[in-house]
Amino acid sequence: MRKKKKKKKKKKKKRRRKEKTEEEQQEEEEKKDEKQEEEDKDGGENIVAEKEEEGEEEEEEKEKGREDGGGTAGGREEKGYLRERGEREEEEEEEEEEEEEEEEEEEEDKEKNKKRRRKRS
């Protein structure tokens, strides 16, 4: 029974994560669509503004790269490694929390069983 519960919890968490990522992707797509619609309405006047925004975004990314690893390919790899490590740490924390919850449930079950045995005798 406990194994089934564990599996269900894990499946729920995975589903929630997928839903969150899907929602984020949909939001990004909607934003892109809105920008495209605005461009179409203005007849391409926003092209200059967009290029400026893209230039600013690139500069921000370069600055982030310098902070994280010098803006080189090695720095990008390091970012990916750090991101993966962070995800692993989060997963480990979640697993630890699940284990703690399971231990608490087991203790509660043991206490209930003791009480039942006492009542019977």
Name 105's Cβ contacts closer than 8 Å, sequence gap at least 6: 2
Q: What confidence category does residue 23 fall into, taking pLDDT thresholds of 50, 70 and 90?
A: confident
Please tell me the distance from the alpha carbon of residue 56 to that of residue 45, in angstroms, as a whole number. Answer: 18
DSSP 21-60: HHHHHHHHHHHHHHHHHHHHHHTSTHHHHHHHHHHHHHHH
Residue type, position 83, single letter: R
pLDDT digits (tens, 9 = 90+) for 28-65: 888 888 888 877 776 655 555 666 667 677 777 777 66
pLDDT tens for each residue of 80-118: 777 888 888 999 999 999 999 999 999 999 999 988 888
Contact between 98 and 9 (Cβ < 8 Å): yes
Task: Give the pTM.
Answer: 0.32
Across the range 16-33, mean pLDDT stands at: 86
